[in-house]
Amino acid sequence: MRKWKSLAKKSIVSAASVVLIASCLGAAPIYASESNSEVPAVVEQNTPSVVAIIGKPTSDTNKSWEKNRYNLAHGTGVIVESDGVIVTNAHVVKDMKNIVVVTSNGTTYNGRATNIDEESDLALVKIDATNLHAATFGSSSDIEVGETVAAIGTPISFALRNSVTVGIVSGIDRSVNSQYQLIQTDAAINPGNSGGALINMKGEVIGINTMKYADVGVENLGFAIPVDTVKYVLNHFKLYGKVKRPYLGVELEESWEAVVGLPSSTGLRVAYVDPDSPAAEAGIKQDDLLLSVGGTSVKTMVDYNEALKKYLPNDSVEIKLQSGAESVSKTITLGEAQSSETASIDDEEGSDIDADRGKTKIGDSHYGWSMKYPSGLVKGQQSEEGDKVSFADAKGEFYLSIEVESNLSDELSPSALLNKLDGSDTQDYGASTTILERQYVKQDKAPYGKIVGRSGDNGYVQTRGYLHNGKLYTVKLYVAKEQYNNSFKQNSFNDLLDSFQLSFDSKDEALKDISVYSEDGATHTNEYGLSLDLPSGWEESSYKGGTSFYNDDYSQNVNVTVTSASSGETLKAWVERESKNFENEYVADYRKIEHPEALTLAGVPALKVAYSQTYGDDEWDAGYSLYFIKDKYKYEIDFTYPGDEDQDEVSKTLGELTSSIKVDKNLMDKELGFIQDIHELMDPDRTVTYKNDKYKYSLHVPETWTIGDAYDDKDEARKNFYFNGGNLTIQADTKESYEDLVKEEDASQKKNHDNDSEYTYSDSEVTLPSGEQAKKYVVHYSYDKKPYQETVYIFHHNHISYTATLHISDAVRTDENEARLNKAFDSIKFQDK
């Protein structure tokens, strides 16, 4: 399998890793050029311009991994200005915080990412320094295939910074996993080389190393960003603070030949047109072929992006297209592509690469415990509430866990405590444990239960349990057998356990607080890059149609639905369609909907629609729907609540929700494709055929209805067809006659009316469209103050009696809904006809 690898690998920097890496390094390929006297001189000239960059990687999925002080990422940079401006790859510093830059002479500086452009994979880092050795840049037009080049960088380990490899330029104008052309080289480029310099034998930087090709049997296939692209990006950074890219508003698709690397004579197919874009305004349509931009022929995406580099937003450009059999030219004023602003990230605990420097103790301020903090102790998993946390030694010598269980009695006897610890120990490690020691240790400050056990042949577990203020603190240490039998190690392990205290001194600056307990809400991020803040106590539901959350009494709900924007879709048209669907679903007296309100969400135009509906019982269900389109996806966020809810509280929750909404395309699932909005395709009048082979009938029901059994009827005698606010039920009976069913229904209807005069009904003899004679009852009543109409038909065919019930709430009894219900029943046919 082919693998394109960016080279900012997250490396664990330790003495052990350096030894391991050094032992694995083989001899490098020998080039004739290596004996050339030019190489040492050129390297000596350029090495002062190359720096090593190291920092703490961030993680969206594992914050404990992010906090591990031994997990560090590194890359390389090139000094472009003597006052501390450094160019590197965007992927090196994008998710890196607490950046540290080390120059070739070993001087260390704190750095910050000032500009990041992911499309070109270039970024700037600034350090506070002067009189640095700035690199000399060459020109892409002077690069020749076959010329000797050297790559300088920090491969594999930070201890190998300013390593040099030599090779040749293997190719130019390469199109590989990049928006722009790349240089191919066989100079060895390895993880960590990202952002380093590719230099020619004139001592000029001709590229910034960016990626390598990795596969079994493949060697020395690396790529660099050409110097002209670097200059283009740096110039934009200097002038505008970002790369100002023109925006046409189309998504393009390459031909088969272009995809596989064959010369292509076909232009780029327009696969999608953004709504309200320059392309849409110019009349460019899906399936048009884009032939040229400003006179430059474009047959690949790289061609297209290289052509656009010549223009700025608001520039006019001539676009040539083939639309059907016709060739057309259009002069279009370009818009500006949106780019995400990325700021330098520092750890919440400071800008030092080791935020734990000076911390000799660790603990939890909320649960009130602390202990010694050896330099090799690395925090692992921690529960959301912070009541469970695990640690591991950086060298893998031991594993430690601390768990706090609340709502226990401090009156638990020593024997009961030991029994509890013994049981939990066996559960946790999942194997029969041979007990080597068990005792209740009495001491003035905090007596505890202690159990030492052998778990199989692999190691030893020591468990200590402390009762304090209604909580049980369970501390467990797992040690491998070879470590446990080392008396020196065993003493250090016991010293760590003995340091555990049921107190937390907030004034102790040497004490690191790992508490994560919070009464605030949580931030939720989904697969579509959408993040939003939810109130404290809200939980996620198992609703499958989207992402849904609810409060503690289920009265308030937030539901998120994400679909793709079809080519040419607009926000206005989408919201008008949704509002029309709502209006068509409810009778006017039972619904309210306000005119859409314009606002901005996730940095793009959005619309907010307030609505409410009732079934007639004076209880209204209310809500707000938020709509916006970004990065080809439509985001709908529905917030629902009872209509009588305190409006100040509703406004507060809605305000917090809307202000927190963000979309980051980098957080989108990489496998996301086109997600059809089925509401665009839905036809409420389109029907499907239902057949009941056992009871010999069929009918056509709207495909938007839900078909299901009312009860557990395996013989299909009773069948239900549901829609919002109503249903059609057909009951087949082979035992009771038509006459008996009519008598029973007559009696039931009369009884209901006699018991409640508001229960009104009428009956008549009718002929069904299928030709059967039937008794028809039409009922009007309010159940729980919710008025409805119910029509009952009793008829028979071939010794089978049928009862059909058409139920519809007055709230949804629009002409359209009632017509669909009646039409579905009228479509009934019998299979022997």
Q: Which conformational region is residue 283 in: left (phi greater than 0), alpha (psi within -120 to 50 degrees), or beta?
A: left
- Can you read off the two tokens belonging to residue 322? 């083939």
Q: What is the dihedral of CA 40, 44, 49, 55, to 10 degrees?
A: 80
Alpha-carbon distance values, 690 to 684, 706, 720, 729 (Å): 17, 12, 11, 13
User: What is the distance between the alpha carbons of residues 536 and 355, in angstroms, rounded to a whole number?
Assistant: 29
Is the separation of the CB atoms in 308 and 278 below 8 Å? no
| DSSP β-bridge partners for residue 763 | 777
Alpha-carbon distance values, 799 to 699, 740, 793, 826, 827 (Å): 19, 13, 16, 20, 20
The Cβ of residue 510 has, within 10 Å, a number of other Cβ atoms equal to: 11
Task: Give catalytic residue positions.
Answer: 91, 121, 194
Q: Pairing relation of β-strands 539-540 and 547-550?
A: antiparallel
DSSP structure string for 605-657: EEEEEEEEEE-SSS-EEEEEEEEEEETTEEEEEEEEEETTS-HHHHHHHHHHH
User: What is the distance between the alpha carbons of residues 282 and 323, in angstroms, rounded to a whole number?
Assistant: 13
Residue type, 361: K
Radius of gyration in angstroms for the set of CA atoms belonging to the chain, rounded to a whole number: 36
Alpha-carbon distance values, 689 to 24, 468, 686, 694 (Å): 68, 68, 10, 15
CA atoms within 13 A on the CB side of 311: 25
Phi, psi of 732 (to 5 degrees): -100, 140
Helix/strand/coil (H, E, C) string of 703-721? Answer: CCCEEECCCCCCCCCEEEE
Alpha-carbon distance values, 151 to 124, 452, 638, 783 (Å): 20, 56, 53, 81
The Cβ of residue 588 has, within 10 Å, a number of other Cβ atoms equal to: 8
Is the separation of the CB atoms in 624 and 579 below 8 Å? no
Residue type, 687: T
The Cβ of residue 761 has, within 10 Å, a number of other Cβ atoms equal to: 17
User: What is the distance between the alpha carbons of residues 285 and 282, in angstroms, rounded to a whole number?
Assistant: 9
